[in-house]
Amino acid sequence: MMLLTADERDHRDTQYQECVPHKVPGGYIGMITMYLPLTQTLNLRLAASRDGRRWWFPDRRPCFDNAPLGDYGGGMIWQSQYPIVENNRLYIYYGGTEGPHRQISDSRAPSKQIGYLENVIDHGAHFLPFNSALCRVSWRYDRLYALASAAGGPTIGTAVTKPQSLDGKKLSLNLLTRPPKKSDKPHFDEGYVQVELLDAQDKPLPGFTRGECTPLNGDHQALPVKWTGGDMAPSTAKKAKFYLKRAFLYGFEFTE
C-alpha cells in the first residue's frame, strides 16, 4: 500500500523514506525521512493522518532540518526508532552524519584511465567512512502544529470547526499570541484570539458573537473562552469560528 509519494510541489527527485507513525488524540502524526538527491541530504518532515491510511503535510518545510556540513546531522538524519513521549516532550533519536548521502572518495586513491586522456579516481574500496553520532531532538508534545493567519501582521485569519453538538460544553484554547509592536495606534498589532459560536446555518448566536467574546492573548495551554452570554455553549451551537491576529492556535477542546 502506498501512503505518500512526491507530487508537483516537490522536486522531481525527492524521495520519501520511512514513515514513523505515532498515535495522538484525533489521529496520527508521522515523522517522514526525506531524501533530497540534489543536495545529497536527509531531513525530517512532519505528516498528519486521521486514520493512519490517508496522510498529508500541514507544511512542506522540514520540521527538523540539516545542520551545517561538518556538524552531526549536516548530511543525513536517520530516525532510529518510534517517538518517545515524556513530560510533554516528543523525542526522536536519530543517527546524524557529518557528511552527505553519497560515497566519499579518498582523493589519495590511485587513478585509472577510462578513456583517451581521461583519468578518474579508482573507487574500488577507496572510500572514506561516514562520521556519525547518535543524537536526540525534541518538541513540545502539545505544540507540534498551529493555526495562524497566512498573511501575518494585522491581517486576521479565520477557521471554522466541523458541525457537532456543543450544547452545554465549555471551550478552552492552547494558544500563543504576539505582543504589540511600536505603533502610534494602541493595540493595533497586538495579538489575540476571539471565538464565535454558530448555529447549523452558520449564523452567529446572540451572546456568543465575536464582538461579545473577551479577546484572549498571552501564552496558555488551557485558557477558557468567555462571552457576555457566559462560558457554556447554548443548545443551538453547532460550530466554533476562530479569529486569529498575530496568534498561534495549537489546540482547542470542548468539555462538559
Instruction: Report the distance separating Cα 101 and Cα 35, nearest Å.
Output: 9
Q: Is the same domain home to 93 and 175?
A: no
| pLDDT recorded at residue 11 | 84
Residue 25: closest CA among 45, 56, 55, 48? 48
CA 206 and chain centroid, separation: 36
CA 215 and chain centroid, separation: 26
Of 115, 140, 165, at which residue does a domain stop? 140
| pLDDT recorded at residue 22 | 94
Q: How many CA atoms lie within 13 A of 87 on its CB side?
A: 1
**Residue 79 is assigned to a structural domain of this protein:** yes
Residue tagged 582523493 (cell numbers): 107
Q: Is the same domain home to 136 and 203?
A: no
| pLDDT recorded at residue 110 | 64
Of 86, 112, 140, at which residue does a domain stop? 140
| pLDDT recorded at residue 181 | 78
Beta bridge partners of 204: 198
CATH number for the domain that contains residue 230: 2.60.290
Q: Is the same domain home to 119 and 168?
A: no
List of E strands, the chain: 15-24, 27-36, 41-49, 55-56, 76-79, 84-86, 89-97, 111-115, 118-121, 132-140, 157-160, 170-177, 192-198, 219-224, 239-245, 247-255
Residue numbers of the chain with a pLDDT score lower than 70: 103-128, 183-184, 186-187
Q: Is the same domain home to 65 and 108?
A: yes
| pLDDT recorded at residue 180 | 84
| pLDDT recorded at residue 112 | 64
CB atoms within 10 A of CB 132: 17
State the residue range of the domain holding 119. 15-140
Identity of the amino acid at 72: Y
- For residues 98 and 69, the answer to whether their CB atoms sit within 8 Å is yes
**Residue 151 is assigned to a structural domain of this protein:** no
**Helices (DSSP H) in 105-145: which residue ranges?**
none
Single pTM value for the model: 0.81
**Residue 149 is assigned to a structural domain of this protein:** no
**Residue 75 is assigned to a structural domain of this protein:** yes
Residue tagged 470542548 (cell numbers): 254
Q: Is the same domain home to 128 and 169?
A: no
**Residue 145 is assigned to a structural domain of this protein:** no
Q: Is the same domain home to 196 and 115?
A: no
Q: The C-alpha cell of 254 is what?
A: 470542548
Instruction: Report the distance separating Cα 133 and Cα 130, nearest Å.
Output: 10
Specify the number of domains making up the chain: 2
Q: Is the same domain home to 134 and 175?
A: no
